[in-house]
Amino acid sequence: MEGIIMGGMLLLILGIFFFTRNLFRFEKVSRFEAVILPVYSLIMAWLALDQHHPSVMAIVVTAIFGVLMAWLQSWGARVKVTGEQDKHDRPVVEVRRGWWYLIGWLLIFVYGIVFAVMLGEHVNVLEEAGNEIAKDLFSFRNFSTASSWNIYLQSGIASLVYTLLLVRKEPKVKHAIARRQRHKK
């Protein structure tokens, strides 16, 4: 049993290392992360809200918290236009998320834990931390149905607002994540 716990801790530490390592490097802004995942999250939030019927106050607080975290996370973001074009003839724009993104991510994580505890759910903090890091490292983990409505709603709102704030900082972000132009032959 101790070996399993130590192995899990090691994976968690490695996950934290890989997650934080990329916060301080410029990475290409992708349509998948900036548009598709947030829209998916909002659709899943809508479906989950339809099933669970939380209070309006809980929905409003979650939405406001998501907007505030997006603002916090975008505060330290640095945007760089490379001058290159991708294979779909869109400008390549890179972003370095930085410390404020990490702080916002930690606050979002704590909010999710506190929300679950307030609802009377049993929460394993190490397991939840591992799951959240895995979602950030491996995008396909976002397509899990285990998340609750508040995580979907908060994630979708925070991601879309973060993207809008990046567009405000650098308008070429909008062109970098635009749908590719289909040329008629």
pLDDT above 50 (res 34): yes
Kindly state whether residue 181 falls inside one of the protein's structural domains: no
Kindly state whether residue 77 falls inside one of the protein's structural domains: yes
Kindly state whether residue 31 falls inside one of the protein's structural domains: yes
C-alpha distances out from residue 165 to 8, 75, 91, 93, 150, Å: 36, 9, 18, 14, 22
Give CA–CA dist 105/132, Å, rounded: 9
Give CA–CA dist 148/30, Å, rounded: 25
Residues of the chain with pLDDT > 70: what percent? 70
Kindly state whether residue 43 falls inside one of the protein's structural domains: yes
**Count of helix runs (H) and strand runs (E) in the chain:** 8, 3
- Average pLDDT of 41-48? 88
Looking at the structure of the chain, the number of domains it has is: 1
Instruction: Give the model's pLDDT for residue 112.
Output: 78
Kindly state whether residue 184 falls inside one of the protein's structural domains: no
- Average pLDDT of 93-114? 88
Give CA–CA dist 19/90, Å, rounded: 27
Instruction: Give the model's pLDDT for residue 183.
Output: 58
Kindly state whether residue 183 falls inside one of the protein's structural domains: no
Give CA–CA dist 130/89, Å, rounded: 37
Range of the domain at 155: 2-176
82: enclosing H helix or E strand = strand 78-85
pLDDT digits (tens, 9 = 90+) for 117-155: 777 666 565 566 666 666 555 543 444 433 478 888 988
Q: What is the mean pLDDT of the chain?
A: 80
Instruction: Give the model's pLDDT for residue 84.
Output: 94
Beta-carbon count within 10 A of 115 CB: 20
Task: Count Cβ neighbours within 10 Å for each residue of 60-77 and write b for 16 or more, e otherwise.
Answer: eebbebbbebbebbbebb
Kindly state whether residue 52 falls inside one of the protein's structural domains: yes
Q: How confident is the model at residue 52 (pLDDT cuts 50, 70, 90)?
A: confident
Kindly state whether residue 76 falls inside one of the protein's structural domains: yes
Nearest to 93 by CA among 180, 7, 173, 13: 173
Q: How confident is the model at residue 21 (pLDDT cuts 50, 70, 90)?
A: confident
